[in-house]
Structure formats: C-alpha cells, structure tokens
Amino acid sequence: MGRREMKFWRLTSPKYDEGDYSHTYINGDLSHAYGLPGVDCEVCGETWGGTRFLDFKCPAALRRLKEINGSWPLSREQHAQLQLKVMRTLRVKGSPFVALRPGDCFQPAVLDIPSIPEADLLWSGIGALVVSARVKRLLYD
C-alpha cells in the first residue's frame, strides 16, 4: 500500500509597517486575566516566569486567590504550594514546576480591540494565532 501525502500549512502573522497602528486596530491586544505569578530566585535575586498558555479555564474557586490575580512574585516554596492547590482543584497529576510553571496563563484570554473583529482568526499576541469562540467550538466541541 502506497504512502498517502497530506498537505499542511504553517500560519505566520502578517507583516505590518513598524509603528503602524493598523496591527492593534485590526488584531487588538490579548491578555489573560488569571495566571500563576513568577518566582523570586533565591540565588540570583531575579524574578522569572514564562508565558505558557494553559489549555483550560481558570476554575471559579481559584479566581479569588490574590496569587492568581497578578500577585507577583512568590518564593519558590510559596509557588510550589500554590501549584499544588491549583493542581488539586484542576485534578491535574504531576509535580510542582512540571505540570504547572511560573507565569502560566489560564484561558480564556481577554481581547482589548478598538474595532469590531471581521475575522475569526487574529494575530493579537507575539506570534500567537487567536481564534474566536466559534472556531474553538468547531475544533474542540
């Protein structure tokens, strides 16, 4: 039996003129209301955290925690305790700093856009493709 060729396409953000407001006007500015804070390094004294986007919504029980609402930063020990609390609430198995990481962001994202979006696909983050709720439902529901 022969090998079947499938075609895939990689999407990259369109080029906008540097300093041009059209990018923000068309795509808006994407942010996440809830996420894990960064960590204070006990060795170098710097704060670090990533920007990984988690695949799940922040549970209502966690939204009222000050640490989830932008309290920044925590010690490694405090962060590990917060991660365990989040993992128990989400029923995620794994170890702190493995299943969850400093700087992780919960879904959904909030789009601040000065225009009415005409498309279901927007480039509102650094190299990030953002989809409307309608497209999300088509892909996941």
- Using one digit for the tens of pLDDT, what is the confidence trace for 104-141? 999 888 888 888 888 888 888 666 788 888 898 898 87
Q: Give the residue numbers spanning the domain of 38.
A: 22-140
Q: Which residues pair with 47 in a beta bridge?
A: 40
d(CA 37, CA 66): 10
Whether residue 64 is contained in a domain is answered as yes
d(CA 73, CA 111): 25
Whether residue 117 is contained in a domain is answered as yes
State the sign of the Cα–Cα–Cα–Cα dihedral 35, 130, 14, 30. negative
Identify which has the larger pLDDT, 83 or 92. Answer: 83
Whether residue 66 is contained in a domain is answered as yes
Whether residue 37 is contained in a domain is answered as yes
Tokens 């995620």 belong to 92
| Model pLDDT, residue 72 | 81
Whether residue 136 is contained in a domain is answered as yes
Whether residue 9 is contained in a domain is answered as no
Strands 105-107 and 53-57: parallel
Whether residue 16 is contained in a domain is answered as no
Whether residue 14 is contained in a domain is answered as no
pTM over 0.75: no
d(CA 102, CA 119): 32
> How many independent structural domains does the chain possess?
1
